[in-house]
Structure 1
Amino acid sequence: MWCTGLRKRYGKRTAVDGVSLEVGRGEVVGLLGPNGAGKTTVIKMLLGLVRPDAGEVMLLGRPATEPAARARVGYLPELFRYQPWLSATEVLELHVRLSGTDMPAEERRDALALVGLADRAGDRVGGFSKGMQQRLGLAVALVARPECVVLDEPTSALDPLGRVDVRDIVLSLKARGIAVLLNSHLIGEVERVCDRVVILDRGRVAASGSLLELLGQHEVRLRLTGVPPAAESRLATAGPVHREGEWFTVALPVDDAATVPDLVADLAALGVRVHAVEPGRISLEERLLGILRDGSEERP
């Protein structure tokens, strides 16, 4: 899945402005951003559900405007409803026919089992909880043996066990070489399964890259006493320092494995008493909030 320069306006409001991204085979890319950032609009343009005002989209090597390009794409929308009088099996059968895929009954049963609905296959969808309907939606997204899957808030309404199930499914799709674009507000889930992340803010790409590139730093917390000015200077050479009483937090380059032992040795040589050394890492949530706050400061 690939797009460049996507733009979309609704009246005087610009919903998406110059968005470019790509998802390779066997790769999971997370789409993050606050409400109203343009994430769902981007997804709809990628899938041909909304016509962009500018830009280009390619799906599996074909222009997204061609229906054949979407034949091997699975999609779980954020908001959906199925006919309440149909059973889970009948909903799946309907979407198999719509996709034009020859999917045996055994494979359809396996799809329901994969999302934890094997024992509710014959029950009417109208009696399903929101979480069960979410599981059924995920099964529907996988019926056409897709090569690319777009999941818009797949863990919405799911309990912790359901979220773990979705995580395992996403990782299994990745292992099979399937491209996955994942839009989720659950940043911890994104951090666990995604290879790369695209952060949208006010319709634009605020940041993108691998988790290593985006996080870029890890932290070390040191409890120190007897810290002379020379030791404070040595701490500052390692990275930005934040102090709270006896605790010093230093943001370090992620690829410098020798920094911490060298730093501790130098501090000890300067007469500092080192009581504790605790490794840490800047989380994706902290990085996301930092990017969005920086963006808000730049806005008029």
Structure 2
Amino acid sequence: MMIDTAELTKTFHGRGGCRGITLQVPEGCIFGLLGPNGAGKSTFVKMLAGLHRPDSGRATILGQPLGRPEARRKLGYLPELFRYPDWLTPAEVLRFHGRLGGLRASDTRTPAFRSRVRDTLEKVGLSDVADRRVGGFSKGMQQRLGLAVALLLDPELVILDEPASALDPVGRYEIRSLLKRLRDQGVTVFLNTHLLEDVEDLCDEAAFLHKGELLAAGPLRTLIGGAGGSGPNWRFRLGGWLPETWDELNSDLGVQSFRLRLAEQNDAGDALLTACVTDPEQAGYLCSLFVRSGLTLFESGPERYSLEAWFLRMTESRHGGDPK
């Protein structure tokens, strides 16, 4: 596991923070950390990055105990709130962080390192402003520079705290594309974000924190009941539905049991049916049955649930005040 925590706890004078977090993040995936404001997400991320010392519990990062220099050398981190000195250029910021990452001053003046800086700035869309002063940067450009710092030393694990919060739609698309390329190259990305559409598009797995507690964790499609793939429920949009159609279908089904249910029906003869199936082949059988029965099959496919709806259900199930 790239990240492995057991009962990890950090509170502030007994309040807020997060408590008893047991979580595993597999290697080579994009993992999303979700939860409402004040859920304890930033506290958890700062413990992983070594900025908060846990009160109790244990954790390993890249197989090393939390806080070990060996793990930090392979970790890239983008904090939620940061600011670089206005008088520096992006190239100078990266040279400075190269030194912080363990490089000697002479190493940061070599052609190889200058090439690395150019490549990193190009990845995040800042190659054209490499020699401009940071003080004139927009929030989105600052965010891109922070991401460049996190990627500079080719980390195996990247922890990003709200990486797209200040970006416009084009910038968010570019950063999502970059994160997908990183995953394809074997880099593990741990993403703390409020942008649910980014999680739906990017994440292989996710976890949900609320009031400092871990409520759910696992593959994204499993958590939200089939988003992005097939689940046990299948939808059929049909035309030509008549009052007697239901009895005819039940007769044709015979001993087959699909838990077929009429979800919607209107006066024009349009109907929506749902069925609990074990595999797409069973859904295909039902499609052929509907056609043989004289119905028009307009649409067939697995039910899809939105991450937003799941997020709201999870939050409302534990409604109450959140920790700071």
Bin for the TM-score computed over the shorter chain? 0.7 to 0.9
Mapped to 2, the partners of 1:173 and 1:146 lie a distance apart of 10
CA offset digits 1:201-228 (Å, max 9, x no partner): 2222221111232234354242442144
Counterpart amino acid of residue 83 in structure 1 = P
Among 133, 141, 144, the residue aligned to 1:135: 144
CA offset digits 1:19-68 (Å, max 9, x no partner): 12222331211111111111111101111211112111111221113233
Mapped to 2, the partners of 1:124 and 1:83 lie a distance apart of 9
Structure 1 counterpart of 2:60: 58
For the pair shown, which has the larger CA radius of gyration, 1 or 2? Answer: 2
Query: 1:287 offset after TM fit, Å?
Result: 2.7
Structure 2 counterpart of 1:263: 286
Q: Give the direction of change, closer, same or farther, for the CA distance of 1:240–1:31 in structure 2 (3 Å limit).
A: farther
Mapped to 1, the partners of 2:265 and 2:99 lie a distance apart of 63
Mapped to 1, the partners of 2:29 and 2:209 lie a distance apart of 19
SS at match of 2:280: coil
Mapping of residues 70-109 of structure 1, within 5 Å:
70-101=72-103, 102=107, 104-109=113-118
Mapped to 2, the partners of 1:75 and 1:164 lie a distance apart of 20
Structure 1 counterpart of 2:168: 159
Structure 1 counterpart of 2:314: 291
Structure 2 counterpart of 1:27: 29
Which 5+ residue runs of structure 2 have no aligned equivalent?
A: none
Structure 2 counterpart of 1:220: 235
Query: 1:95 offset after TM fit, Å?
Result: 0.6
Counterpart amino acid of residue 161 in structure 2 = D
Mapped to 1, the partners of 2:315 and 2:236 lie a distance apart of 25
2:274 is equivalent to residue 250 of structure 1:
yes
2:299 is equivalent to residue 277 of structure 1:
yes
Q: Give the direction of change, closer, same or farther, for the CA distance of 1:266–1:143 in structure 2 (3 Å limit).
A: same
TM-score by length of structure 1 reads 0.87
Q: Give the direction of change, closer, same or farther, for the CA distance of 1:251–1:200 in structure 2 (3 Å limit).
A: farther
Mapped to 1, the partners of 2:220 and 2:41 lie a distance apart of 19
Contact 1:223/1:247 (8 A) holds in 2: yes
Query: 1:12 offset after TM fit, Å?
Result: 4.3
Q: Give the direction of change, closer, same or farther, for the CA distance of 1:71–1:293 in structure 2 (3 Å limit).
A: same
Contact 2:260/2:276 (8 A) holds in 1: yes
Mapped to 1, the partners of 2:216 and 2:8 lie a distance apart of 16
Mapped to 2, the partners of 1:294 and 1:67 lie a distance apart of 40
2:180 is equivalent to residue 171 of structure 1:
yes
Query: 1:87 offset after TM fit, Å?
Result: 1.0
SS at match of 1:107: helix
Query: 1:252 offset after TM fit, Å?
Result: 4.3
Contact 1:219/1:282 (8 A) holds in 2: no
Q: Give the direction of change, closer, same or farther, for the CA distance of 1:291–1:115 in structure 2 (3 Å limit).
A: same
Among 194, 201, 208, the residue aligned to 1:199: 208
Comparing 188-197 and 125-134, the one that deviates more: 188-197
Counterpart amino acid of residue 237 in structure 2 = L
Counterpart amino acid of residue 140 in structure 1 = V
Counterpart amino acid of residue 304 in structure 2 = R
Counterpart amino acid of residue 120 in structure 2 = A
Contact 2:258/2:275 (8 A) holds in 1: no
Comparing 225-234 and 155-164, the one that deviates more: 225-234
| Count of residues in Structure 1 that have an aligned counterpart in Structure 2 | 295
Q: Give the direction of change, closer, same or farther, for the CA distance of 1:272–1:91 in structure 2 (3 Å limit).
A: same
Query: 1:11 offset after TM fit, Å?
Result: 2.9
Structure 1 counterpart of 2:196: 187
Which 5+ residue runs of structure 1 have no aligned equivalent?
A: none
Query: 1:240 offset after TM fit, Å?
Result: 6.5
Query: 1:286 offset after TM fit, Å?
Result: 2.8
CA offset digits 1:236-293 (Å, max 9, x no partner): 944676326344252645x620233333444566x67345224352233333333333
